[in-house]
Structure 1
Amino acid sequence: MSDFLIYSGYLILLINLIFYSFSFFRKKEVNVFFLGYLAFSCVMQYSMEIMYHLHTNNLFLSNIFIIGQLILLGLFYNSLFTLKSQKSFVLISIGLALLILGLQFMMDWSQFLRFNLFAIALTSLLIVVYALIHFYNMLTESKTYYYASIGVVFYLLASTVLYFIGNLTHNLSNEFKFLSWQLNAFLIIIYYFFILYEWKKSFSK
């Protein structure tokens, strides 16, 4: 069941990348940063899977992924904003987050080589804030990337809470830990379906 959820997520992500790439290269309708995020996600997910099967530690890739995710989704929302103050907030907050994480890694390099809850929480919550600002803007503007943003907020909040619960309950049984990873894999599938639905509503025609 776990493998089915994981590989289903990979497949839906790849389908999203193909569909959004088609719309981008054919009509230039898709936001280049969002397309870059999908391509980056594909590379990271498949790289982590390959390293897992090679029995190689791939946790450092998770840190590269969440940092890249912050930068690409931050630039994505920055490109959607029209107010200078909102654009400045995104760029400054990304810069500060990268500075904080850079200092953390310099003080303790091992943080980069393992599962980093602080980095996950910091980057995820910043992206959620960007998405919520976009929702606020859509009250008076056109609803661009509405469903994708719902997926962003839903998945990042839910997964962050799930990671913290898993960390706080690390002494519980392996069955409980396995269940939490299955739930996260299921949440990713829902997230990718939101992105797929966004393409259907906004770009498929």
Structure 2
Amino acid sequence: MSNETILIVEDEIKIANIVQEYLQDSGFKTVCIDNGSDVLDWVQQHPVDLILLDIMLPGKDGLQVCKEVRAISQVPIIMLTAKVEEIDRILGLELGADDYICKPFSPRELVARVKALLRRSSLRQEDHEDWHMDEERYQVRYHGKTVNLSMVEFAILKLLSASPGRIYSRSQLIGSIYPDNRVVSDRTVDSHIKKLRHKLADELTSKELIYSVYGVGYKFEFHA
């Protein structure tokens, strides 16, 4: 029997009931909320392992709710959407949801996606506990190995690894790494990322940690 709690944020009662039934049959605890304005307060006051979040909600839409939740928590979020054009934003820069599923969907597929995301999240947490960044030495230690980085490389990695799965655009990376507003080209960022990847691969781990997201930017992920 699973101990995970899934928060279902869906105002269509029929859909919410079906999703709740399938999740409970799979051993999950569930809570349902039908208004976007109520989600943030609930998340702040209760432990939750994953959120299923519809986009079209009364009160606040799911995109705004996702942004607010992500500002305070890295809880896994799967968006439910009938709007294909929203997918880039859902997984993109300002929102950072972990996955999405388009309506109409198979309840069995949704349960499978929930289980898969919870497994990834668990592995990510285990890896994160073994991930140490030394700001005085610009060093990273991971699974007993250490790599030395430049100041800029360290700053990039610190930003990306602080929010695994979140996608950062090149302009966001530049703004964070160079707060003095100096002019830095996208190509310079790409060069730093390339060097950083080589160092991590050669000296720290054979696993890919920094991923390119075509047309958007970069993200950091722990994977088994």
Q: TM-score, normalised by structure 2?
A: 0.27
Larger strand percent: 2
Q: Quick check: which has more Rg, 1 or 2?
A: 2
Larger RCO (alpha carbons 8 Å, 6+ apart): 1
More helix by share: 1
TM-score by length of 1: 0.28
